Amino acid sequence: MSTHGYEEELQSERRYVGRLYEWLDAERMRVKDRYAGALRGTGGTLVERDAEVRALARQMARLNVADSGLCFGRLDSVDGETIYVGRIGILDETDEFASLLVDWRAPAARAFYVATGATPENMRRRRQFHTLGRRVLDFTDEILGRPGDAERGGRGDAALLAAVNAPRGDGMRDIVATIQAEQDEIIRSDHPGVLVIEGGPGTGKTVVALHRVAYLLYTQRKRMESHGVLVVGPNAAFLDHVGRVLPSLGETNVVFLTPGDLVPGLRVATRDTPEVTRLKGSLAMLDVLAAAVADRQRVPDEPVPIDLADVSVRIDAETAQWAIEEARATGKPHNDARAVFVDVVTWVLTERAIAKIGRGWLSREDRAAWEHLRSELVDELDDHRGFAAALDRLWPTLTPETLLAELYSSPERLRAAGADAALLRTEGDAWTVADVPLLDELVDLLGRDRAAEAAAEQERREEAAYAAGVLDLMIGREDLMDDEDQLLASDVIAAEDLAERFEERDTRELAERAATDRDWTYGHVVVDEAQELSAMEWRVLMRRCPRRSFTVVGDLAQRRSAAGATSWGAMLDTYVPGRWLYRPLATNYRTPSEIMAVAAAVLAEFAPDVAPPESVRSCGVPPWSRRVDEDDMASAIEDFVRAEAASEGTSVVIGPPGTPGAVAPSDTKGLEYDAVLVVSPERILADDPRGAADLYVALTRATQRLGVLHTGPLPAALQGLTVQRSG
């Protein structure tokens, strides 16, 4: 194309994209007006208006995110059809069968990501726009249909390389404009079970998983939107990093949690030692927890006397054992089965009391007198403090927190439950991340706190009674109003509207409701850094998604948890045998080849059978190392921080836990920075059994520049670094 022809085409594309933005602005205004009307409450019931407000709010959010990069390319077919591809779909109002803009998730847009010279998908040309705000700066064309025209992966590299070379911001960006063919295949997978995406550092597995969620919400919105999506990541920094991707794609019904947040009300980040983590993460803890619950269902060592007004009776071991067996036979959770235990003990004691009181004058045939006496005795036992205290000792109402804290702090209870003595700790309720799945498991073993639920129900009844009283008062006052006043009162609030307002309706957004409801079930779950999850943590997640619809993201080579996965089958076959699918990613879009060569040497030492991902680019800046004295380490770190502060992009210092001014390798998993300084790699290797995996993670966070400071001898795997001399 000549320069003149290119400029004409560019102006034409700018006009077209400008018209798309005109439509976007008009549609946004239309939805905004409808939203304002719904808030004012014009017509319909409160429930209907609530639903409309929520739907319009979601529509507004999708229109707002479309403002950035609304249209990023077009396809020209061999049949002469032109398709523009963007963040949302826009229909041609003059032709119901035509689209002005095709949503990137729609089947018609697939060729934009997968067409190659060898397999052009009936396309003649792919055009990619480079935009800034609402303006098309320029475009690049790829002619399809002749083998050899397309470069790596069937895509021209201009847009991709521009994206991966751009300075990193505060969070992960979406990749809708630069999705590669291998990524697109995974994103559009309709596999109904568990899809495992494994890839080394920089392969884009996390962002691919998030785009797959957006795709599933687009293709299965009716099923998934009402349940929402759960995204589980290794730490809060990671979730903050990735948390903007789905909102940028217009999807907001998403809950982001770490493994330490999976029980509502808890926010836990403290980690156990590797050995304790391994013990707590094992499925053997199921037997320990069951035994710990059973241990709280006791028979008395000595008969417990219960002194009533006219007689004294005793709870003996035989009675308690019978009551325990009857309660357990119900199969109900501990707290729910307590009622059966209490009923059996109460029946035995009243039988014995009646036999003593009625000896010589009350016959079994006198049923009325017998039942009257029993009723009086039951009432007396209900109010008897000693009886209540005895029941609480023999079959207490328990919470997960109480049971687990008392188990951890008692050597005797640990022995009775068959638990390892390593679980003993002074502060029983000093929760760690590995305790969270145990607390969640105990919710099912113990059941609900019925007393608390009864109190909440009573409060609800009182509120409803108050509402009914207000309504009666208003209706009564209508007799005192003239016709005009009565009409005004009916306009302001109708009887059915008042009743609706006092119904138990939750007006919170779906994500907020889901995050605070332990029994919420999600339409889909994304698990990132999944190799770190224990078998007990997988049980929690499977409970959260009965449909077993998962996107699992990880890299077994980066595992550091002693309770984590050694193979995907070992973790998943228990829950979804034959329903999980494995998809690898082998291309590194983040780490330049110069840095990846160094990281690959570390990988070869601890995982020689794992092939490192192949980088698509080089940065031209060799990674370096410098040996410094211990006393000079702090100033060397400061020099790096000061120099990077003057450069564009982000930077981080990574070192062994406790290093001043540095973050631990485990805290950077899944994150990326323009520049990385790794401090004391020799200590990272030596201080932890999985130190090599930690060092591999640290080295592969950089997108442009990597430096290493060390005080001891440089590890052999890092000999490929360019040596810088001090001073």
80 annotated binding-site participant: no
For residue 194, list its beta bridge partners.
550, 580
Question: What is the C-alpha to C-alpha distance for residues 89 and 91, in angstroms, rounded to an integer?
Answer: 7
For residue 626, list its beta bridge partners.
709
199 annotated binding-site participant: yes
Question: What is the C-alpha to C-alpha distance for residues 117 and 109, in angstroms, rounded to an integer?
Answer: 17
Question: What is the C-alpha to C-alpha distance for residues 27 and 80, in angstroms, rounded to an integer?
Answer: 29
712 annotated binding-site participant: no
State the sign of the Cα–Cα–Cα–Cα dihedral 110, 113, 114, 117.
Answer: positive
Task: HSE, CB side, 13 Å, CA atoms: give it for residue 540.
Answer: 29
Question: What is the C-alpha to C-alpha distance for residues 645 and 662, in angstroms, rounded to an integer?
Answer: 16
650 annotated binding-site participant: no
How many other CB atoms sit within 10 Å of the CB of residue 85? 28
How many other CB atoms sit within 10 Å of the CB of residue 278? 18
Residue 557 is classified by DSSP as G
205 annotated binding-site participant: yes
140: enclosing H helix or E strand: strand 135-143
State the sign of the Cα–Cα–Cα–Cα dihedral 189, 191, 195, 198.
Answer: negative
Is residue 703 a contact partner of residue 592, using CB atoms and an 8 Å limit?
A: yes
Task: Give first-to-last CA distance, the chain, whole Å.
Answer: 54
Question: What is the C-alpha to C-alpha distance for residues 74 and 100, in angstroms, rounded to an integer?
Answer: 11
203 annotated binding-site participant: yes
- Strands 312-315, 304-307: pairing is antiparallel
Is residue 511 a contact partner of residue 412, using CB atoms and an 8 Å limit?
A: no
Instruction: Give the torsion through C-alpha atoms of 328, 329, 333, 334, to 10 deg.
Output: -20
**Which tokens hold the place of 456?**
């909440």
Question: What is the C-alpha to C-alpha distance for residues 676 and 91, in angstroms, rounded to an integer?
Answer: 46
**HEC secondary structure over 171-236:** CCCCCCCCCCHHHHHHHCCCCCCEEEEEECCCCCHHHHHHHHHHHHHHHCHHHHHCCCEEEECCCH
**Which tokens hold the place of 567?**
């193979």
Question: What is the C-alpha to C-alpha distance for residues 567 and 531, in angstroms, rounded to an integer?
Answer: 8
E runs forming strands in 10-53? none
Question: What is the C-alpha to C-alpha distance for residues 637 and 663, in angstroms, rounded to an integer?
Answer: 12
**DSSP string across 628-658:** --GGGHHHHHHHHHHHHHTSSS-EEEE-STT
**Which tokens hold the place of 259?**
């493994």
Residue 674 is classified by DSSP as E
202 annotated binding-site participant: yes
Question: What is the C-alpha to C-alpha distance for residues 187 and 479, in angstroms, rounded to an integer?
Answer: 65
222 annotated binding-site participant: no
- Residues marked as binding for ATP? 199-206
- Residues marked as binding? 199-206
